[in-house]
């Protein structure tokens, strides 16, 4: 055991020395070897730093220790001005061993996570600072496991790992128990040393009982510290009480008058309690009568308290009902306010809709008045004027009938087109759609192009007459919207037409 502990201590000492060396050594800018020391030593130092971060100093101590020694040898030879080759030989060996230590540490962590966890928990419980046989056994087995893993004997290491894990867990439990009940145990030993356990045996036994209960709690669940601490607190109370009672017993020995003082003191204590309860006990027949009277007064107080509690409960219930009624009234008020808001919103909505409707009616009346004025401008043979629900005014030019397959305007068309110009002037801010239509003679695509050309012919005339071009748009509807059957020559003539639509604002 001492040998294994020595190995561990040597490893830790070397690691500490290495860290101190890294921190304190001042590196010259350039050495006799022709290369900065920092560059020469960096790979080995980096490997050792990584080994520490991988816990190789704990989990692969032998190999790690060898790596540290090689590094120190390199430093020693460097300081003595030895050849670069000689220094590099030790640095390369240090780096190689550090890499091996890292691999071993990773193998330990991969193959024995429970062992490492149990060891960490034992150390966290301060078991390594206590003289615990279980921890010493666990540490010995742990070092054997590390040695086997370094040698690649994983299967052989598993046997020792189970034993080490078990002992670490036992050591952790013992450390937790010691940390929890250590102070109580110290007090109990003081009691025994003072023979207080003989003068206050029942109180002392009660303290022992709570100590044992705390230990049992931790045995069942070592991390149930709250319950265990409650038991220890009770045990410490009874330990202090045992010492106090023992001292009192010692004080009374040898002087019989002290017994009278004890009884009188007890009378005084009971009298103070009785006085606060409104009772005047007598002690000529012993303490029991006085205690009974005090107990009677306490029971009466309890009964009175129960009456008060019932009254208070009744008042609380009445208050709760009143608060519920208030809440219900507030909810009713909130609902009423919500309905009022809804009514106001509905009122505003209706007023807005009414205003919109009135505005629409006004626009409709104005559109109808203008439509009547336009109708007076055209004879029934020249055009038909229509007003749609959106207040768009459409003028179907009946007197403009194109020859089949042609888009040219004729001189007789100019009179009607002049009236279209006058109509456009009545609505200077409105856009106009000029749509051309054909009969069904020819293909659909031909008719579409032809109808567009006819619409453009009218649009060109109006532009030349002074209508702004940005106000007008020409479209070709082709044969898609006939107003008369295409089965007769008269019907086809009517379908070869122009419609001018003045859009509502």
Per-residue pLDDT of 312-370, as tens digits, reads 888 888 888 888 988 888 898 888 888 888 878 888 887 777 787 787 788 788 888 88
Count helices and strands (H / E) in the chain: 16, 5
Rounded Cα gap, residues 450 and 455, in angstroms:
9
- pLDDT above 90 covers a percentage of the chain that reads 53
Top-confidence residue, 47 or 15? 47
| The pLDDT of residue 35 | 53
> What per-residue confidence (pLDDT) applies to 24?
42
What order of strands is seen across the sheet that includes strand 432-437? Answer: 383-387, 393-397, 498-502, 432-437, 472-478
Which percentage of the chain shows pLDDT scores above 70?
90
For the segment 233-237, the average pLDDT, to the nearest whole number, is 95
356 is a domain residue: no
Q: Are 48 and 67 in contact (CB under 8 A)?
A: yes
What mean pLDDT comes out for the span 370-381?
Answer: 88
Single residue among 141, 174, 207 that ends a domain in this structure: 174
Q: pTM for this one?
A: 0.49
pLDDT at 165 over 80: yes
> Cβ(183)–Cβ(211) under 8 Å?
no
How many domains are contained in the chain? 2
Residue with tokens 């055991």: 1
pLDDT at 27: 36
Cross-strand pairs, 396: 384, 499
Residue 317 in domain: no
Q: How far is CA 419 from CA 144, 367, 373, 397, 400, in A?
A: 116, 18, 12, 11, 13
- What does the pLDDT read at residue 172? 94
Assess if residue 332 is contained within a domain.
no
Q: What does the pLDDT read at residue 25?
A: 42
List phi, psi (to 5°) of 31: -110, 175
Q: Work out the mean pLDDT of the chain and round it to a whole number.
A: 86
Residue 93 has a pLDDT of 95
Q: Which residues contact 382 (CB under 8 A, 6 or more apart)?
A: 397, 398, 399, 415, 416, 419
Q: Radius of gyration (Cα) for the chain, nearest Å?
A: 55
Cα–Cα distance, 120 to 116 (Å, whole number)? 6
| Rounded (5°) CA angle 373-374-380 | 115
Residue 96 in contact with residue 90, Cβ under 8 Å? no
Average the pLDDT over each of 140-144, 343-347, 465-469, 479-483 and give the range with the smallest value: 343-347
Do 142 and 164 form a contact (C-beta atoms < 8 A)?
yes
Q: Could you give the CA distance from residue 307 to residue 125 in angstroms, rounded to a whole number?
A: 54
226 part of a folded domain: no
Average pLDDT over residues 24-32: 39
pLDDT band at 66 (very low <50, low <70, confident <90, very high): very high
- CB-CB contact of 473 with 434 (8 Å): yes
Tokens for 182, please give them. Answer: 């250590």
Residue 271 makes CB contacts below 8 A (sequence gap 6+) with: 281
| 429 belongs to a structural domain | yes
Residues 6+ apart with CB under 8 A from 418: 465
Point out the domain boundary residue: 174, 201, 235: 174
Amino acid 353: pLDDT: 78
pLDDT range class, residue 256, cuts 50, 70, 90: low
- Which residue from 434, 446, 453, 439 is spatially nearest to 490, judged by alpha carbons? 439
Q: How far apart are CA 23 and CA 17, in angstroms?
A: 10
Query: What is the structure's pLDDT at 255?
Result: 65
The predicted pLDDT at position 115 comes to 95
Tell whether the model's pLDDT for residue 3 goes beyond 80. Answer: no
Structure confidence by residue, pLDDT tens digits, 386-423: 999 888 999 999 888 777 778 889 999 999 999 999 99
Answer whether residue 296 is part of any domain: no
**CA-CA distance, 425 to 377, in Å (whole number)?**
13
> Would you state the pLDDT for residue 497?
87
Q: d(Cα 141, Cα 144) in Å, to the nearest integer? A: 5
C-alpha span between 27 and 25 (Å, rounded): 6
Residue 87 in contact with residue 42, Cβ under 8 Å?
no
pLDDT at 370: 84
- Cα–Cα distance measured from residue 329 to residue 337, given in angstroms and rounded to the nearest whole number: 12
Give me the pLDDT at residue 262, please.
67
Q: Is 76 within the bounds of a domain?
A: yes
Boundaries of domain holding 92? 2-174
Residue 451 sits in a domain whose CATH number is 3.30.1330.60
Q: Which of 136-145, 211-220, 361-370, 459-468 shows the lowest per-residue confidence on average (mean pLDDT)?
A: 361-370
235 assigned to some structural domain? no
Distance CA 253, CA 262 (A): 12
User: For residue 59, is pLDDT > 90?
Assistant: yes
Q: What pLDDT does residue 192 have?
A: 94
pLDDT value at 464 more than 80: yes
pLDDT tens digits, 258-307: 666 666 777 788 888 888 888 887 776 667 877 887 888 888 888 888 88
Q: Domain boundary residue among 155, 174, 193?
A: 174
């Amino acid at each position: 055991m001492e040998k294994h502990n020595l190995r561990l201590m040597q490893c830790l000492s070397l690691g500490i020395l290495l860290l101190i060396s890294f921190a304190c050594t001042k590196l010259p800018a350039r050495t006799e070897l022709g290369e900065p020391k920092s560059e020469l030593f960096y790979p080995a130092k980096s490997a050792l730093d990584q080994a520490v971060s991988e816990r190789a100093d704990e989990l692969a101590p032998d190999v790690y220790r060898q790596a540290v020694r090689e590094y120190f040898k390199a430093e020693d030879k460097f300081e003595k001005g030895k050849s670069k080759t000689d220094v590099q030989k030790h640095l390369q060996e240090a780096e190689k061993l550090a890499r091996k230590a890292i691999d071993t540490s990773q193998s330990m962590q991969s193959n024995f996570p429970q062992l490492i966890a149990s060891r960490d928990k034992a150390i966290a419980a301060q078991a390594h600072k206590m003289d615990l046989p279980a921890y010493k056994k666990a540490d010995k087995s742990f070092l054997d496991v590390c040695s086997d893993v370094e040698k690649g004997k994983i299967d052989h290491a598993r046997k020792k790992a189970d034993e080490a894990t078990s002992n670490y867990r036992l050591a952790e439990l013992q450390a937790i128990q010691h940390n929890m009940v250590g102070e109580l145990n110290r007090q109990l030993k003081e009691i025994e040393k003072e023979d207080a356990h003989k003068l206050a045996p029942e109180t002392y036994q009660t303290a022992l009982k709570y100590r044992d209960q705390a230990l049992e709690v931790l045995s069942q669940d070592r991390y149930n510290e709250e319950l265990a601490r409650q038991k220890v607190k009770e045990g410490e109370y009874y330990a202090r009480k045992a010492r106090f009672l023992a001292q009192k017993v010692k004080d009374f020995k040898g002087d019989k008058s002290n017994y009278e003082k004890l009884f009188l003191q007890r009378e005084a204590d009971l009298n103070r309690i009785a006085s606060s309860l409104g009772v005047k006990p007598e002690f000529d027949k012993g303490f029991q009568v006085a205690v009974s009277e005090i107990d009677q007064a306490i029971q009466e107080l309890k009964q009175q308290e129960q009456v008060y509690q019932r009254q208070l409960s009744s008042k609380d219930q009445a208050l709760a009902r009143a608060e519920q009624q208030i809440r219900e009234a507030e909810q009713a008020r909130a609902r009423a306010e919500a309905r009022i808001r809804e009514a106001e919103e509905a009122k505003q909505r209706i007023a807005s809709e009414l205003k919109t409707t009135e505005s629409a009616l006004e626009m409709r009346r104005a559109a109808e008045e203008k439509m009547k004025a336009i109708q007076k401008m055209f004879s029934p043979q020249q055009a038909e004027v229509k007003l749609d629900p959106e207040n768009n005014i459409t003028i179907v030019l009946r007197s403009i009938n194109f020859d089949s397959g042609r888009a040219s305007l004729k001189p007789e068309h100019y009179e009607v087109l002049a009236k279209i110009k006058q109509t456009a002037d009545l609505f200077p801010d409105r856009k106009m759609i000029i749509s051309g239509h054909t009969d069904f003679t020819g293909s659909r695509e031909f008719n579409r192009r032809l109808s567009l050309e006819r619409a453009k012919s009218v649009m060109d005339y109006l532009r030349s007459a002074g209508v702004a071009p940005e106000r007008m748009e020409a479209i070709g509807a082709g044969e898609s919207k006939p107003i008369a059957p295409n089965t007769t020559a008269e019907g086809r003539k009517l379908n070869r037409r122009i419609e001018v639509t003045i859009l509502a604002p």
